[in-house]
Amino acid sequence: MAYILPAMKAMVNPQSLPQGDTAPGVYSGQGAGYAQWRDQRLSRWPVDPAALTVPLPGPDAGADALAAMRDNCDRFGFSLYACDGGLESAQLHELGRRLGLRRLVTNPLAEDDGISRLTVSSGKAGRGFIPYTDRRLRWHTDGYYRPHGEPIQAFLLHCVRPAASGGENQLMDPQIAWILLQERDPALVRALAAPDVMTIPARGRLAGQGTVTVPVFQYTAGGQLVMRYTRRSHNIQWKADATTRRALEALEELLDADSRWRLRLRLLPGQGMVANNVLHDRSAFQDDPAAPRVVLRARYLDRVKA
């Protein structure tokens, strides 16, 4: 395979966000139900990217392929696919729609159809947007800066053309991160679920939004986990207390470790991923000036459901 394996439901109001032992369902961190869910989730790793790659003979995904992608997203947080002949923007839209992703989130730098064409652009990069550079993107979830009630819950990435070298992604399921922190010390999870743990100052006229204060771990009314996080230090203000610092250090340690819980891959033409906004990064890359890297990105308020 071309992949490389290394060594909206209504949101809970931030003021009533479940904490610790009162978190919904398995996120209580207690009981036989939690233990069974924890063990099942952890037992699935490590995983070979080939096992999560769904072949698409063309742009029209069949029922079996859609079911396989939904199952992968349910079990691992994401699914990979390989489409013969690639996908155009309209076909990517349709793939998302058939996976239940209907509420597309656009932005001023996206194309007219709402899909972002991620390629090196001096104009967009000059406005401070790292995805439009060849620099590395540190660990993050998409849209961590969005208002509390409108989190990005899923995204599609589709490779039109890779870089000449570099541009790899690493992925980690937020549920795995939650479990590992919970097992280390439940106080770490409680700290990151505090509604005032992360503040993103006003981002200026481009986004047209003011200051946003949100939790890292947030739970939907249906009992799903939504994670907001960025490893960037610029324009991020973390709650200044000892437990939050300890929680962030523990999370950074998880992300930095060369462990079984991370998956590394490099998308080639026609390959892509659909994900319930998993943690991910991107390595720096070098372009062929005659054939620069192009990746299509669509982000949604919906999540892929099994």
pLDDT tens figures, 184-207:
999 999 999 999 999 998 864 345
Q: Give me the sheet containing 279-282, strands edge to edge.
A: 137-140, 279-282, 169-172, 263-265
> CB–CB of 107/116 below 8 Å?
yes
Determine phi and psi for 45, rounding to 5 degrees.
-110, 150
Q: What is the pLDDT of residue 128?
A: 67
Q: DSSP characters for 225-251?
A: EEE--B---TT-EE--SHHHHHHHHHH
Per residue in 5-61, pLDDT (tens digit) is 222 333 333 333 333 334 668 898 888 999 999 999 999 999 999 999 999 988 888
Q: Where are the alpha helices (DSSP H) in the chain?
A: 31-43, 63-76, 89-98, 122-125, 174-184, 186-192, 242-256
Give the per-residue pLDDT at 126. Answer: 53
Count of other CB atoms within 10 angstroms of residue 263: 25
How far apart (Å, rounded) are the C-alpha atoms in residues 192 and 245?
10
Q: What is the pLDDT of residue 222?
A: 80
Contacts of 84 (CB under 8 A, 6+ apart): 55, 56, 57, 58, 270
Q: Is the peptide bond before 46 cis (omega within 30 degrees of 0)?
A: yes
Query: E strands within the chain?
Result: 53-56, 78-83, 104-105, 116-118, 137-140, 154-161, 165-166, 169-172, 198-200, 212-214, 217-219, 225-227, 237-238, 263-265, 271-275, 279-282, 285-286, 294-300
* Tokens coding 103: 């509420």
In degrees and rounded to multiples of 5, residue 56 shows phi and psi of: -120, 110
Does the predicted TM-score (pTM) go above 0.75? yes
Kindly compute the dihedral angle of the four CA atoms of residues 247, 252, 258, 260, in this order, to the nearest 10 degrees.
Answer: 50
- pLDDT value, residue 28: 86
What separation in angstroms does the CA of 39 have from each of 22, 75, 78, 176, 183? 21, 12, 19, 11, 12
Block mean pLDDT (10 aa), the chain, length 306: 31 35 73 93 95 91 95 97 92 95 89 91 72 94 90 96 97 98 97 95 63 92 91 90 98 96 96 98 97 97 94
Q: Could you tell me if 114 and 104 are in contact, meaning their C-beta atoms sit under 8 angstroms apart? A: yes
**Quick check: 301 and 8 in contact, CB under 8 A?**
yes
Tell me what pLDDT residue 106 has. 86
